[in-house]
Amino acid sequence: MGKRKESSTNMVNEKCITEGCDLTYAVCKMGGRWKLLILCKLEHGKLRFGEIKKLIPNISERMLTLQLRELEKDGLVKRTVYAEVPPRVDYELSTMSKELIPIWLQLSNWGAKHRQNQEYQISA
């Protein structure tokens, strides 16, 4: 998110992992702290920067910007700037990320199901 050192072991490892594994590659694209939450909010249509912020009260403006920028760079959201003052910018899912919606649903279901089990195990 800040720039990364081109040839740290860390970076090299990430590259070789994602290059060798489509699954890891895919999950990396949605793997920032707030990314999936943002994407979920966009599932029902365009939203302005400020609207997303209101929907995710704990996020800071900086984080929201960073995550949106990466999502944009990776082609998961489309950003539209209107030449107005005060500025207006909106964000929406791209075609590419819309393809993920059914998968997200399955993952969500899996999460819901097993979160319950785990809570059950803990409280039991």
Name which of DNA, a copy of itself, none residue 27 binds, using a CB cut-off of 5 to 8 Å depending on partner kind: a copy of itself
Q: Does 101 interact with a copy of itself (rule: CB under 8 A)?
A: no
Query: How many residues form the binding site for a copy of itself (CB under 8 A)?
Result: 39
One DSSP character per residue, the chain reads: -----TT-HHHHHHHHHHHH-HHHHHHHHT-STTHHHHHHHHTTS-EEHHHHHHHSTT--HHHHHHHHHHHHHTTSEEEEEE--SS-EEEEEE-HHHHTTHHHHHHHHHHHHHHHHHHHHHHH-
Q: Which residues bind a copy of itself (CB under 8 A)?
A: 13-14, 16-17, 20-27, 29-31, 33-34, 36-37, 40, 58, 75, 96, 99-100, 102-104, 106-112, 114-115, 117-118
